[in-house]
Amino acid sequence: MEFLVRLSIGVERVVPYRRIAVFIDDLEETRLNGPAAVGIAAPQVGCFRRVVILDCSATRKPVPNHGRLVLVNPEITHWEGYEMGREGCLSVPDYTGNVIRATRIHLTAQDHDGHALAFDMEGYEARAVQHEIDHLDGMLFVDRVVSRRTDLFKRKVYQKGGSAKTP
């Protein structure tokens, strides 16, 4: 688990994008085969490149979102508002926790071909992308809980392809 606290390096154009595309396909397969993950970051599979896949379009309660996103070198350039919310993670499967995140962000990134992307995100999607970018920066949600005594919860059930039941 200590490999998850390592910083990821940016993807440069010198990296053959064909190799990145194959890696992204494998990363997406890992996300889809896991329990109800809306996102995954490259460090979660031991690759320390700044690559994230995010898809908030299939949540139980519909939320504003941009569909499935492959984000290379994502960076939050503006954030505003803050809100506490419950988070879980494939990398910490036995716990959920209350984490404070920005409610609205502006994100820049590249797609898998190196083309520039920019998004304004809010609510759940903004929270999810902040969570995934934390992985790129060597952080887990448990590093952001206000109090491990009062804001970290043992997960009761982690259902494959469904939602986790938490206290």
Active site residues: 132
Q: Vertex 53, ends 143 and 157: CA angle to 5°?
A: 60
CB contact at 8 A, 95 and 152: yes
Q: Which residue has the tokens 């519909």?
A: 62
Grouping H, G, I as helix, E, B as strand and the rest as coil, residue 82 is strand
Whole-angstrom Cα distance, residue 79 to residue 124? 14
Amino acid at 53: I
| DSSP 8-state class, residue 145 | B
